[in-house]
Each structure stands twice: as structure tokens, then as C-alpha cells.
């Protein structure tokens, strides 16, 4: 049986972008829980361009509901504030901790899957030989 990937019409307009390491430099990990880092060069222009045609959805572990409140705010609220501070909030439809259905995902830790041999080669080149 052949697997065929299907995307619903509204999902084909979604571009999902990881927050840390793609938009926000996250130079110190979780740190004190605040969002302290700088914007990664080129991300503002790319998001604005993509938003002309697509729904921008940010996915981040910072939005997980089990993370502690920081200064009385959830991680999603902190991400939204940071995006607003960098004039990007109006381009973002949603902030979520879950991987939503989308046309494409932009993530700094991704390995592009075409087949398992290629995926394992990419992994080994990046991290270690297994």
C-alpha cells in the first residue's frame, strides 16, 4: 500500500517556523526563562515576505503549557511580546508548542527526509557516527 500525503486546503497556506535558532538567537538556552536574545539576520524580511501569501505559525517549546510562568506570563505570551518588539507580531497567525499541519516547516534542527540512508548520513555528518 502506497502512502500518499494529503494537505487540506487551509493547511496548504500554513508555513511553520521554529522560534529559537531560526528567528530568535537563543544564545543562552532557557536562562532565566525570559526571551532575551536578538533577532536572527534575515528572519524579519523572510517572515514579512512569506506572510504576504501564507499564514505564519511559530512553533516553540517555550509555549508548552507545563513550562513555568515568567513574570506572570506564559511562554506564548512572552514570544508574542518579543515578536511585537521586533515588529513581527502582526505577521504571525499563531504561536504553538505543537507541530501544526502545514505546507512546510522551517527548523534549525531538522534533517530533510528523503530516505533513511540519506537521513542517517546527514545525522552522522552533523553529530556522530552510529
Q: What whole-number distance in Å separates Cα of residue 64 and Cα of residue 60?
A: 8
* 5 vs 22 pLDDT, higher one: 22
The DSSP element (H or E) to which 35 belongs, if any, is none
Which pLDDT score is estimated for 8? 56
List, for residues 72-100, the tens digit of each pLDDT value: 999 999 999 999 999 999 999 999 999 89
Q: Which domains does the chain have, with CATH numbers?
A: 10-126 (3.40.50.1000)
List, for residues 104-127, the tens digit of each pLDDT value: 999 998 999 999 999 999 999 888
Alpha-carbon distance values, 34 to 9, 71, 100 (Å): 36, 9, 24
Distance between the two ends of the chain, CA-based, in angstroms? 31
Q: What whole-number distance in Å separates Cα of residue 104 and Cα of residue 57?
A: 11
Residue 39 burial (C-beta neighbours within 10 Å; 0-12, 13-18, 19+) = middle
Which pLDDT score is estimated for 2? 54
List, for residues 3-16, the tens digit of each pLDDT value: 455 545 577 899 99
* 60 vs 11 pLDDT, higher one: 60
Query: Which cell numbers in the block locate residue 8?
Result: 487540506
Amino acid at each position: 500500500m502506497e502512502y500518499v500525503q494529503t494537505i487540506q486546503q487551509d493547511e496548504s497556506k500554513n508555513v511553520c517556523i521554529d522560534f529559537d535558532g531560526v528567528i530568535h538567537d537563543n544564545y543562552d538556552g532557557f536562562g532565566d526563562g525570559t526571551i532575551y536574545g536578538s533577532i536572527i539576520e534575515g528572519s524579519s524580511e523572510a517572515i514579512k515576505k512569506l506572510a504576504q501569501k501564507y499564514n505564519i505559525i511559530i512553533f516553540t517549546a517555550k509555549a508548552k503549557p507545563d513550562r513555568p510562568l515568567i513574570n506572570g506570563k506564559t511562554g506564548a505570551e512572552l514570544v508574542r511580546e518579543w515578536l511585537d518588539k521586533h515588529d513581527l507580531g502582526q505577521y504571525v497567525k499563531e504561536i504553538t508548542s505543537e507541530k501544526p499541519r502545514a505546507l512546510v516547516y522551517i527548523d534549525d534542527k531538522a534533517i530533510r527526509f528523503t530516505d533513511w540512508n540519506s537521513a542517517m548520513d546527514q545525522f552522522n555528518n552533523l553529530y556522530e557516527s552510529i
